[in-house]
Structure 1
């Protein structure tokens, strides 16, 4: 059974053991829309099996939040018309040219194109990838699109961010629910995990302009407005404290001076993220 977030919005929780992200379902009177396709054909089938038990209007589209493997490997299995940002399509056209056997994955990790975490999770989720077939989105947009599902509207907007430049959010104004995908997470494809303070502020402004009660992220439990905004405020505050510092020790010393306390484990991770971001500039 999918978990209910609002009258017309449901989700399948994330599963961290094999990096399955949360998947969403938005139900209108005329048709329904799925958010992201899952990290494997099995993940997609598990989601579709739950849908079969629900009395909902037929699914018409799958909206993809960004190009990363864990959100797109189930597209072919879902077999619905797929919508994404134009940059997402470009990325998937490239991914379709790659091989996904163990040797190919290991080689891409060795070259730096892929990271160990994703390779290991792909192997765990899909020990056998002989029949994995990727699909390119059917429809694309540039900035923003709106869909009338019948009695409920769905807004899809490109927001970018350091995690993936093609990231899009899905907002359901009638239910005040927003699917964020992974857009609020760090950049982990270019060296040390990092945040860029300027890009983060732009991203947060794009998200905060919407009236939202519930936020769904790809790899965490849903958060209410207060929880998410507190997270944004803490993250941007740490970014301001770190400023342009490129040395962790100095950034930590500045944090202690401003906050009058030592950073906890999570705060220290964020400090390191912003320092790493500065080092990449």
Structure 2
């Protein structure tokens, strides 16, 4: 269920919905301009966002900032006639989508987003009109938005958007793993560097597109925990041995998340060596 939440005086959030792969959508309100963060996974999704804006008497976004090119973040862009802002990499990935039969691909797949289109395939793509290489700053009127590309395993074009006056950072899907030949993976160094990069922003709230908002304290604790998991995964390459060591060490609960990271790091190491385990 998508709910409208006012996070600060000038930042709002339409919460995500796992059932239909709807990411959270952000709204940033300056005195001269406003912005949406991401374009929704369908026209229905984006129209719901606009309905909340009308109810709150908020201006239609001047800009839409894209965190990355994946379908669930761009399929509703046609609901708005505004400036679309994206990294050069994001635009590069989006351009070929114009020539693909996306409806057939999705309807024949087992992707979660398929559940969004049980009736009509209401998708309307628009291409970015403003692009940046690594970073760009926008003045919305007494409110600043810093767009910055970050290195992530999830996809090569991940960007984050920081609103310093509100101490909010939109992080999109950058903390999620990559996939290769059906295997999920994380590169240890890249992932730990990413966590440190996010913590360098003086944010108090981190908005992940598919989860609840993350506090600074929680992200710092995650870095400490994942750093230890990464160290142990080097010392004990076998996932079973690493789990037994961490259980004996008893620094933190060894739960499914720990097993996930160990397997992701193992797959990342295999991938770096050029071995995927598939022909």
TM-score higher than 0.5: yes
Change (3 A) 1:207 1:195: same
Which residue does 2:8 correspond to in 1?
Answer: 6
TM-score (norm 1): 0.89
The DSSP-based 3-state class of the residue aligned with 1:14 is: coil
2:49 pairs with 1:47: yes
User: C-alpha distance in 2, partners of 1:162/1:129?
Assistant: 33
Cα offset, 1:136, TM superposition: 1.4
Instruction: Kindly indicate whether the alpha-carbon contact (under 8 Å) linking 1:35 and 1:63 is maintained by their aligned counterparts in 2.
Output: yes
Residue in structure 2 matched with residue 222 of structure 1 by the alignment: 213
Structure 2 counterparts to residues 145-164 of structure 1, below 5 A: 145-164=136-155
* Contact 2:196/2:223 (8 A) holds in 1: no
Q: Paired residue for 1:84?
A: 86
Aligned to 2:25: 23
Superposed displacement of residue 186, structure 1: 1.1
Can you give the 5+ residue segments of structure 2 that lack an aligned partner in the other structure? 273-279
Residue deviations 1:184-213 (CA, integer Å, cap 9, x gap): 111135532221111112212221111111
**Residue aligned with 2:202, SS:** coil
Instruction: Return the offset for 1:254.
Output: 4.1
Correspondence for 2:275? none
- Label 1:262 to 1:150 Cα distance change in 2 as closer, same or farther (>3 A): closer
Q: For residue 233 of structure 1, what is the aligned residue in structure 2?
A: 224
Equivalent residues of 1:246, 1:279 under 8 A apart: no
Q: Secondary structure at the match of 2:259?
A: helix
| 1-structure distance, mates of 2:22, 2:251 | 39
Q: How many residues align?
A: 270
Partner of 2:169: 178
Match of 2:243 among 252, 271, 274: 252
1:71 matched to 2:73: yes
Aligned residue in 1 for 2:188: 197
RMSD: 2.1
Instruction: Please report how far the alpha carbon of residue 265 of structure 1 lies from its aligned counterpart in structure 2 after TM superposition.
Output: 1.8
Asked if the contact 1:171/1:177 (under 8 Å) is kept, the reply is yes
CA contact (8 A) 1:177 1:215 kept: yes
Offset at residue 244 of structure 1 (A): 7.3
Match 1:211 to one of 189, 192, 202: 202
Greater Cα offset, 251-260 or 15-24? 251-260
Structure 1 residue 53: Cα displacement? 1.5
- Worse-matched range after superposition: 233-242 or 208-217: 233-242
